[in-house]
Amino acid sequence: MPRRLLFFLTALGSLLVIVLFPTVRPTFADKSSNCQGLPNESQLRGFLIAAQTIGGTVGGLFNGTRMWGAVVNRNGEVCTYVTSTSDPTQVWPGSQAIAKSKAYTANAFSLDALALSTARLYTFTQPGHSLWSLGQSNLFDPKALAPPSGASGGKNQIEGGLIFFGGGVPLYDSNGKIIGGLGVSGDTSCADHEIAKRVRNLASLNPPGGPLVDDIVYSPPDAASVFAHPKCVNTFRNGVFIGNETPATY
């Protein structure tokens, strides 16, 4: 066979292989798609600001005006985190990790059939109660932190961390399916809870039972409950003054 014809047939065969059997390249899922249906940064900040005045007095130390907010998806991956203020250094730096941990906790222990805010886990996790030491099971990853003015901070990563006081609520889609969790921190835990449930309501991400199905419980004035949470300084619930934290005794 002439060399020129052999070269032509070889080239033609290689072309057919490329056309008929293209190289298979690995594809990587875009993790941002796992945050579908959850608030982005600008939306979350808008909700945090609106929640300060919708629903009556927030209470606490700052009336809910200095907040970190964080959202995780159902996998527990950080989707969004932001402060309610334009200057993030004027919100407690320590509240960034707390907000992320609250979001993780609310998502981690809620189901389609059970919305469980972090406020409702308080009594269970105290010494002498059935979930004492639960906080040691999913520790926070410090790599999920970012400086208040910086980037990264665990975006699209599972940061862990468990918090058992007010400020974390699970998030649900319109079909009643849990899709993640929201954490809010920057005031008293009672004020944090007030802002968190308002943000969830503003985002239309309430559980099937409605916006108050996992609301914070105070005993008193509520009946004694295993879901009870202590009152904080200047405690309000749904715009109604509840009282103040019991002073220490010596």
Question: How wide is the angle at C-alpha 63 spanned by C-alphas 57 and 67, nearest 5°?
Answer: 130
The β-bridge partners of 81 are 70
Domain residue ranges in the chain: 31-243
Mean pLDDT value across residues 15-23: 37
Q: Give the pLDDT band of residue 18 (cuts 50, 70, 90).
A: very low
Count other C-beta atoms under 10 Å from residue 25's C-beta.
5
Provide the CATH topology of domain 31-243: Beta-Lactamase (3.30.450)
What pLDDT does 41 receive?
A: 94
User: Does residue 33 have a pLDDT over 70?
Assistant: no
What pLDDT does 158 receive?
A: 85
What pLDDT does 136 receive?
A: 79
Which has more confidence, 6 or 101? 101
Specify the pTM: 0.83
Tell me the pLDDT of the chain averaged across its residues: 86
CA distance linking residue 206 with residue 195, whole number of Å: 14
Which has more confidence, 129 or 200? 200
Residue pLDDT, tens place only, 48-72: 999 999 999 999 999 999 999 999 9
Query: What's the distance, CA 46 to chain centroid?
Result: 16
CA distance linking residue 73 with residue 54, whole number of Å: 26
* Strands 68-73 and 178-185, sheet pairing: antiparallel
Mean pLDDT value across residues 172-177: 97
Which tokens is 203 given? 């985002």
Which tokens is 73 given? 């998806």
Count other C-beta atoms under 10 Å from residue 194's C-beta.
31
